[in-house]
């Protein structure tokens, strides 16, 4: 039977975080709050857990799962490089609602889906999420909803959609809204805006100087958030580009 903890209560929060960490180490699923919506997560390096996450949401490998991290150091260990603008964007907007698509470190033994060699990374601005991430390490996280349904902004919505597929639910009240994180692709020569979100294009340009908003992208854009459509792409986009995941945080 699933277990639910009220993170507004200090004792329940401590017990919930301990239970969540233990659950993740047993390759099971947890629902956790973020600074946007609730996410369903697992250990990013356990294939059976990632498969269980996809099954709980009713989705396939063509929309790969993104990764949340608790530190910048953890993020940089997961990628080949951040390109010329990645560190500046991280310094300006992390922790916060900015998801960065990077070339994944090829030495890593993980399988998040059909990523085409990329990974979507974000550090959420939420104390409960960060505490869990710093304890357990990088987590594969997607929005806490069945594919095609609205993302959960309350723990009750998450429980209704995901039920007993999740072992632990960490309740931190209602999330403010369903506005997703902004997604920027760093796999090209210049940063490319894949999805508009909380962080505006103007703020991105103030940091990076230039943000492309059209043209082909080699990266899938996945997010643990609302199933909103990503930025439109031209019809001649390369076949090597994986299908965008409109849920990535």
pLDDT tens for the 249 residues of the chain, in order? 999 999 999 999 999 999 999 999 999 999 999 999 999 999 999 999 999 999 999 999 988 999 999 999 999 999 999 999 999 999 999 999 999 999 999 999 888 888 889 999 999 999 999 999 999 999 999 999 999 999 999 999 999 999 999 999 999 999 987 888 999 999 999 999 999 999 999 999 999 999 999 755 555 544 444 443 333 333 333 333 344 454 545
Looking at residue 116, its pLDDT comes to 87
The annotated binding site for L-threonine is made up of 36, 122, 181
List % helix, strand, coil for the chain (3-state, nearest 5).
30, 20, 55
Collapsed DSSP state (helix, strand, coil) of residue 128: helix
What does residue 120 show for φ and ψ, rounded to 5 degrees?
-100, 125
Does residue 34 contact residue 87 with C-beta atoms inside 8 Å?
Answer: no
Question: Alpha helices, DSSP H only, in 26-115?
Answer: 47-57, 72-77, 86-93
* Pairwise CA distance, residues 30 & 32, whole Å: 6
Tokens found for residue 49: 């857990």
Question: Alpha helices, DSSP H only, in the chain?
Answer: 10-25, 47-57, 72-77, 86-93, 127-136, 155-162, 201-208
The annotated binding site for ATP is made up of 59, 118, 143, 195
**In which domain, by residue range, is 51 found?**
3-208
- Evaluate whether residue 201 is within a structural domain: yes
Looking at residue 249, its pLDDT comes to 55
Question: Alpha helices, DSSP H only, in 152-198?
Answer: 155-162
Q: Provide the Cα torsion 235, 240, 244, 248; round to 10°.
A: -150
- The enclosing domain of 112 has a CATH number of 3.90.870.10
- Evaluate whether residue 233 is within a structural domain: no
- Evaluate whether residue 70 is within a structural domain: yes
Looking at residue 214, its pLDDT comes to 73
User: Which residue, chain included where needed, has tokens 């210049």?
Assistant: 190
- Evaluate whether residue 244 is within a structural domain: no
Q: In what order do the strands lie in the sheet with 39-43?
A: 3-6, 168-171, 30-32, 39-43, 139-143, 67-68, 118-122, 98-103, 182-185, 192-195
200: number of Cβ within 10 Å: 11
- Evaluate whether residue 37 is within a structural domain: yes
Closest CA to 53 of 69, 61, 42, 45: 42
- Evaluate whether residue 189 is within a structural domain: yes
The annotated binding site is made up of 36, 59, 118, 122, 143, 181, 195
Looking at residue 115, its pLDDT comes to 86
- Evaluate whether residue 245 is within a structural domain: no
Tokens found for residue 249: 């945080």
Number of domains in the chain: 1
Looking at residue 231, its pLDDT comes to 39
Looking at residue 241, its pLDDT comes to 34
Does residue 30 contact residue 23 with C-beta atoms inside 8 Å?
Answer: yes
Looking at residue 72, its pLDDT comes to 98
- Evaluate whether residue 135 is within a structural domain: yes
Considering the entire predicted model, what is its pTM? 0.87
């Amino acid at each position: 039977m699933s277990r639910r903890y009220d993170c507004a209560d200090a004792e329940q929060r401590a017990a919930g975080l301990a239970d969540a960490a233990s659950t993740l180490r047993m390759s099971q699923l947890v629902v956790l709050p973020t600074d946007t919506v609730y996410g369903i997560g697992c250990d990013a390096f356990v294939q059976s857990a990632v498969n269980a996450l996809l099954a709980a949401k009713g989705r396939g490998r063509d929309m790969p799962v993104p990764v949340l991290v608790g530190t910048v150091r953890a993020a940089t260990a997961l990628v080949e490089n951040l390109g010329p603008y990645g560190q500046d964007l991280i310094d300006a907007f992390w922790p916060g609602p900015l998801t960065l698509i990077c070339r994944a470190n090829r030495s890593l033994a993980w399988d998040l889906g059909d990523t085409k060699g990329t990974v979507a990374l974000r550090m959420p601005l939420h104390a409960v999420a960060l505490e869990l991430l710093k304890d357990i390490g990088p987590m594969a996280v997607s929005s806490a909803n069945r594919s095609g349904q609205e993302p959960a902004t309350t723990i009750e919505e998450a429980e209704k959609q995901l039920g007993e597929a999740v072992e632990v639910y960490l309740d931190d009240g209602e999330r403010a809204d369903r506005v997703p994180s902004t997604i920027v692709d760093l796999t090209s020569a210049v940063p490319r805006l894949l999805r508009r979100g909380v962080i505006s294009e103007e703020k991105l340009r103030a940091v990076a100087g230039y943000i492309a908003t059209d043209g082909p992208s080699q990266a899938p854009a996945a997010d643990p958030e609302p199933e909103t459509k990503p930025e439109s792409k031209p019809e001649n986009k390369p076949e090597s580009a994986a299908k965008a995941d409109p849920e990535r945080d």
